[in-house]
């Protein structure tokens, strides 16, 4: 039985269809990534699966229970860390996890024991008796995660768990998610970060404007787009010579400017020595070399026509101050 | 003259902003109009028999008597509300933006006060409309209305100055908000809701010397009787006193804030 | 980790209610100065109304010796109304900040979540009520007797529960603190359009008509009886009925709104 099964799930807000017939299946023990830009329908989908929102059409089961007809059973089986890190600033970390344990119906002594274990696990034991209002963003997310785990849920929903966090905190959350998954927890993770989906997810669904536009393992999705290519910056502008040599190894890709050449390589990194040797034999100097693999953003562009992540464009003028 | 015109524009722009802020958030408007109106209704309906007490001033009805008190309550809450909004601006860092601009400091405070004055004016008009709708008459006619509206607007501005001073000094909206019970105390210990002579000690003794009692009488007299020059003068002096207090406190608080950041 | 047997549902429900009540007390104890307006405002109103309108006892038909005795239950109930409305405002704030999602996503029954808010308000309302009562007794209000005191406290707690149900329903309906004035004004209107300022016969005609149909007038009179004289069952049971009916109706509405948050 899948951990999560969704069939033609829809959610309308007035005339606006935020989720338009989503179908997906998540196996037990999987990390499933739900990737899409802001406003794509990720959070709406999660809120339906966690019983916070009723679907307007379709059906879904989580841990074997229907999200509408058996909502309470669903709630007893899931852990949820929502986008807003729903924490009370006046409570201490320890109090919050104990309250969560009580909400989940755990006996008091058991709840306390689990609270202490989880605080230790997410490295918050030293701050456990400080008020949450004084926690950093990373600490709040770790606490939210710990609270979601207090009853050892079968399925864990993480809605953009690392948005707004610094790289170190992000990495800590990733490690924790992997560890949980190793212990058998199914994880449904929504994110707008390509790297997060790429690094963590066994399977990824890309959602845009309420519809799933692509689904599969990260590698399979990227492979559908094309082969990796090698980007070379040449030392002395001898582009013609380089292109002649490289055309025999793989397909040349535009653009080529005065110093850069791009060549597709079927075997990825394994073809690099061949490229280097060929250029060396031809006397072409190489200043820099990079293997560029297709990204999930390339998958997104291929399926939707626009980028998931905005590229950073350097600008000479600063934005005007707010009036 | 040019800089005066520029400063006036700044005051107007900041004043419009503070008015818009208030009207866009119902939880800010309600204390200023809804609660005083509700209190006016229940006090008139519940304690209206007071007009039969010996010594009660000759009035057309208890509503006519109470209008001034309702306006006072409204304007004081407007002043408190203005202070809270100013403190929120300070907490958010918006006032830093203003202090960094090439405008005289006083325009920033006056801009905030312009908003409070507008609310005071509105509350006076509102309660006159309510009064007239429910049969209360203004004994001195148009002149009485104009005098009362002027006094209420001026008092709102004066009280707003105190609110602004507290906001500048503390920089904390919750501190200013916590002063709301003080507003109630000042009102109850004045002639806002009952003739001073019929109040119970020690409230009576305090009300006799409370400057707000003089202002209330200045607003009330033209409504229930002919305009009285003494009452008007006493009200104006009381307002002037509060204005001076507000100016002194604001100036000191502003200097302190700019010195300490 | 070895799991122990889960709690029976009734024990889990009680534990959840207790935990939510414990959280509610943080508002009073952990926010500097937060307790003061809630505790002081009813007392200020009491002193104010007493000092301002005390002469009303001179009117013919005012059948009580002291205005303090007449007004103290008004302030107790007013404090209860404030406290209950504040519970609604806090719930609205919790909704805005996402905290309520944490509660809604748990398997705790919806009525248990509501009961935590409502019972916390009932308990909290006893604090300003006691404060007002102490001041009133110092100023010469009559001692209501044990029965009168218990009934006054019962009405206070029930009024706070009613106000909390009202405030919660609005919070869940509008999901925003901008509904706060409606929560507060509603309670103010319902408490003061009774025999709050004067006995029924001395109210203005329109107010008398309203007070006669306002069920909270029964509650006001029941809370007041010990302060004015003897406590009777005839004066008490209608008030209990009114409170039960209001709590049931407003509680049902709040529960419906809580279920509808997912709609």
Helices (H), B178-228: 180-188, 203-209, 211-224
Say yes or no for a CB contact (<8 Å) between C37 and B181.
Answer: yes
Lowest mean pLDDT segment, chosen from A109-118, B10-19, B207-216, C45-54 = B10-19
Spacing of C-alpha B148 from chain mean position: 12
Report the candidate in A94, A56, A38 with the shortest Cα–Cα distance to residue A207: A38
Would you call C184 an interface residue with chain B, using a CB distance cutoff of 8 Å?
A: yes
Instruction: Answer left, alpha or beta for residue A186, where phi above 0 means left and psi between -120 and 50 means alpha.
Output: beta
Q: What is the pLDDT of residue C1?
A: 43
Q: What is the pLDDT of residue A312?
A: 36
Token pair belonging to A215: 């689904």
Predicted pLDDT of residue A314? 34
Domain residue spans of chain A: 4-221, 229-292
Indicate the domain borders of chain C: 9-56+64-260
Buried b (16+ CB within 10 A) or exposed e, B94-117: ebeebeeeebeeebbbbbbbbbbb
A115 contact residues in C (CB cutoff 8 A):
none
pLDDT at A289 over 50: yes
Q: How far is C250 from chain B (nearest CA, A)?
A: 22
Tokens of C249: 């109706």
Strand partners, A60: A6
Identity of the highest mean pLDDT range in B8-12, B17-21, B76-80, C80-84? C80-84
Q: Which two tokens stand for residue B18?
A: 């503070």
pTM of this prediction exceeds 0.80: yes
Position C218 pLDDT exceeds 80:
yes
CATH topology of domain A4-221: Rossmann fold (3.40.50)
Q: How far apart are CA C185 and CA C202, in angstroms?
A: 24
Q: Please say if the pLDDT value at position A315 is more than 70.
A: no
Cβ–Cβ < 8 Å for B49, C56? yes
**pLDDT band for position A316 (50/70/90)?**
very low
* Pair B196, B231: CB distance under 8 Å: no
Give the pLDDT confidence of B111-168 residue by residue, as tens digits.
888 888 988 999 999 999 999 999 999 999 999 999 999 999 999 999 999 999 999 8
Q: Please choose, from the candidates A99, A117, A28, the residue with its C-alpha nearest in 3D space to the C-alpha of residue C106.
A: A99
Residue B196 has pLDDT above 60, yes or no: yes
The DSSP code for B198 is G
Complex ipTM value: 0.88
What confidence tier does C178 reach under pLDDT thresholds 50, 70, 90? confident
Check CB contact of B30 with chain C, cutoff 8 Å.
yes
Does residue B32 surpass a pLDDT of 70? yes
CB of C146 closer than 8 Å to CB of C154: no
Tens digit of pLDDT for each residue in C132-152? Answer: 999 999 999 999 999 999 999
Q: Does C180 touch chain B (CB under 8 A)?
A: yes
pLDDT digits (tens, 9 = 90+) for A223-251: 887 778 888 888 776 888 888 899 898 88
Q: Does C174 touch chain B (CB under 8 A)?
A: no
Would you state the pLDDT for residue B70? 96
The DSSP bridge partners found for residue A34 are A190, A205
**Cβ distance of C1 and A106 shorter than 8 Å:** no
| Residue B45 near chain C (CB below 8 Å) | yes
Q: Cα–Cα distance between B15 and B86 in angstroms, integer?
A: 12
Q: Which of B29, B47, B199 sits opposite C51 (nearest CB)?
A: B199
Q: Which residues of A touch C23 (CB under 8 A)?
A: 88, 91, 95, 99
CA dist C115 and C88 (Å) reads 13
Using a CB–CB cutoff of 8 Å, tell me whether C101 touches chain A.
yes
Identity of the residue in C15, C30, C31 whose CB atom sits nearest the CB atom of A102 = C15
pLDDT mean over A53-63: 96
Confidence of residue A184 (pLDDT cuts 50, 70, 90): very high
Share in percent of chain C as helix, strand, coil (round to 5): 80, 0, 20
Q: Which two tokens stand for residue B199?
A: 């109040």
Structure token digits, residue C137: 């007794």
Cα separation of A80 and A226, whole Å?
A: 36
Q: What is the pLDDT of residue B261?
A: 62
Q: Binning pLDDT at 50, 70 and 90, where does residue A309 land?
A: low
- Percentage of chain C lying above the pLDDT 90 cut: 80
Report pLDDT for C204: 95
Buried b (16+ CB within 10 A) or exposed e, C143-173: ebeeebeebbbbbbbbbbbbbbbbbbbbbbb
| B58-73: average pLDDT | 95
Confidence of residue A318 (pLDDT cuts 50, 70, 90): very low
Tell me how close the Cα of A161 comes to any Cα of chain C, in angstroms. 15
Tell me the average pLDDT across C100-119.
96
| Residue written as token pair 């008190």 | B69
Band of pLDDT at residue C67, cut at 50, 70 and 90: very high
* Least confident window among A58-62, A120-124, A230-234, C62-66: C62-66
Nearest CA in chain A to C103: A103
The distance of B30 to chain C (nearest Cα, Å) reads 6
Higher pLDDT, C38 or A146: A146
The more confidently predicted of residues A239 and C205 is C205
**C168/A294: higher pLDDT:** C168
Q: Does C186 touch chain A (CB under 8 A)?
A: no
pLDDT of A317 over the 50 cut: no
Tell me what pLDDT residue A323 has: 31
Residue A228: per-residue pLDDT: 86
CATH T-level fold of A229-292: Alpha-Beta Plaits (3.30.70)
What integer pLDDT is reported at residue C158 of this predicted model? 98
- Give A321's pLDDT tier (boundaries 50, 70, 90): very low
Question: How would you label B45-64 residue by residue, b for 16+ Cβ within 10 Å and e otherwise?
Answer: bbbbbbbeeeebeebebbbb
User: Tokens standing for C206?
Assistant: 């329109």
Identify the band that residue C31 occupies on the pLDDT scale cut at 50, 70 and 90: confident
Q: How many Cβ contacts (< 8 angstroms) between chains B and C?
A: 121
Mean pLDDT for chain B overall: 89
What is the C-alpha separation between B16 and B37, in angstroms, rounded? 25
Q: What is the pLDDT of residue C166?
A: 97
Q: Residue C131: helix, strand or coil by DSSP?
A: helix
Q: Residue window 161-190, chain B: list those with CB within 8 Å of chain C.
A: 174-175, 178, 180-181, 184-185, 187-189
């Amino acid at each position: 039985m899948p951990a999560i099964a969704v069939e033609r799930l829809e959610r309308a807000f007035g005339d606006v269809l935020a989720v338009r017939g989503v179908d997906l299946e998540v196996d037990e023990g999987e990390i499933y990534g739900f990737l899409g830009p802001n406003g794509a329908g990720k959070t709406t989908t999660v809120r339906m699966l966690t019983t916070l929102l009723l679907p307007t059409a379709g059906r879904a089961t989580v841990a074997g229970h229907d999200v509408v007809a058996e909502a309470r059973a669903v709630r007893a089986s899931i852990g949820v860390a929502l986008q807003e890190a729903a924490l009370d600033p006046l409570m201490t970390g320890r109090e919050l996890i104990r309250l969560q344990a009580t909400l989940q119906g755990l006996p008091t002594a058991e709840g306390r024991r689990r609270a202490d274990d989880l605080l230790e696990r997410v490295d918050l034991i030293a701050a456990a008796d400080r008020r949450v209002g004084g926690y950093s963003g990373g600490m709040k997310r770790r606490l939210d995660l710990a609270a979601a785990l207090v009853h050892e849920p079968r399925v864990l929903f993480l809605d953009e768990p690392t948005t707004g966090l610094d790289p170190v905190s992000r990495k800590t959350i990733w490690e924790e998610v992997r560890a949980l998954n190793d212990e058998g927890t199914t994880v449904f993770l929504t994110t707008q970060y390509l790297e997060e989906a790429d690094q963590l997810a066994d399977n990824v669904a890309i959602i845009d404007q309420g519809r799933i536009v692509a689904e599969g393992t990260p590698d399979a999705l990227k492979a559908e787009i094309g082969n990796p290519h090698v980007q070379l910056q040449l030392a002395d502008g001898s582009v013609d010579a380089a292109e002649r040599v490289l055309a025999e190894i793989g397909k040349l890709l535009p653009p080529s400017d005065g110093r850069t050449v791009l060549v597709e390589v079927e075997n990825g990194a394994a073809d690099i020595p061949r490229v280097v040797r060929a250029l060396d034999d031809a006397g072409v100097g190489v200043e820099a070399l990079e293997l560029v693999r297709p990204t999930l953003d390339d998958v997104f562009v291929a399926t939707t026509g626009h980028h998931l992540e905005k590229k950073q464009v350097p600008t000479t003028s600063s934005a005007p101050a707010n009036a | 003259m040019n800089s005066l015109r520029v400063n006036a524009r700044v005051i107007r722009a900041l004043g419009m902003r503070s008015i818009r802020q208030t009207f866009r958030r119902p939880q800010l408007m309600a204390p200023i109009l809804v609660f005083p109106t509700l209190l006016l209704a229940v006090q008139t309906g519940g304690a209206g028999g007071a007009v039969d007490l010996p010594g009660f001033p000759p009035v057309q009805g208890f509503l006519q008597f109470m209008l001034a008190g309702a306006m006072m309550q409204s304007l004081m809450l407007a002043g408190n509300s203005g202070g809270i909004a100013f403190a929120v601006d300070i907490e958010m860092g918006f006032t830093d933006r203003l202090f960094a601009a090439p405008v005289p400091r006083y325009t920033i405070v006056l801009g905030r006060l312009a908003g409070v004055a507008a609310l005071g004016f509105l509350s006076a008009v509102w309660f006159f409309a309510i009064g007239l709708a429910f049969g209360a008459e203004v004994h001195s006619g148009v002149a009485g209305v104009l005098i009362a509206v002027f006094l209420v607007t001026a008092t709102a501005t004066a009280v707003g100055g105190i609110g602004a001073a507290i906001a500048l000094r503390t920089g904390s909206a919750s501190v200013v908000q916590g002063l709301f019970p003080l507003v109630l105390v000042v009102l109850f210990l004045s002639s806002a809701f009952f003739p001073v002579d019929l109040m119970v000690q020690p409230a009576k003794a305090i009300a006799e010397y409370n400057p707000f009692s003089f202002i209330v009488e200045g607003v009330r007299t033209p409504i229930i009787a002919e305009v009285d020059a003494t009452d008007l003068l006493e009200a104006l002096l009381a307002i002037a006193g509060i204005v001076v207090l507000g100016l002194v406190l604001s100036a000191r608080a502003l200097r302190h804030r700019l010195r300490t950041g | 980790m070895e799991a122990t047997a889960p709690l029976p549902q009734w024990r889990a429900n009680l534990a959840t209610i207790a935990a939510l009540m414990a959280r509610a007390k943080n508002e009073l104890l952990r926010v500097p100065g937060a307790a003061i307006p809630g505790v002081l405002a009813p007392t200020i109103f009491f002193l104010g109304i007493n000092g301002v309108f005390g002469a009303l006892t001179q009117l013919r038909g005012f059948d009580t010796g002291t205005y303090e005795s007449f007004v103290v239950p008004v302030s107790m109930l007013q404090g209860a109304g404030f406290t209950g409305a504040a519970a609604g405002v806090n719930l609205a704030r919790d909704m805005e900040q996402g905290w309520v999602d944490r509660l809604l996503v748990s398997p705790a029954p919806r009525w248990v979540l509501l009961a935590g808010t409502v019972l916390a308000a009932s308990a909290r309302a006893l604090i300003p009520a006691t404060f007002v009562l102490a001041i009133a007794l110092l100023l010469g209000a009559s001692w209501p007797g044990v029965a009168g005191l218990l009934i006054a406290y019962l009405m206070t707690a029930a009024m706070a529960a009613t106000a909390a149900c009202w405030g919660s329903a609005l919070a869940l309906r509008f999901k925003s603190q901008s509904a706060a004035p409606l929560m507060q004004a509603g309670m103010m209107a319902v408490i003061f359009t009774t025999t709050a300022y004067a006995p029924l016969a001395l109210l203005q005609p329109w107010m008398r008509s309203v007070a006669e149909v306002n069920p909270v007038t029964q509650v006001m009179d029941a809370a007041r009886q010990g302060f004015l004289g003897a406590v009777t069952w005839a004066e008490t049971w209608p008030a209990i009925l009114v409170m039960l009916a209001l709590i049931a109706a407003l509680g049902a509405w709040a529960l419906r709104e809580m279920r509808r948050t997912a709609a």
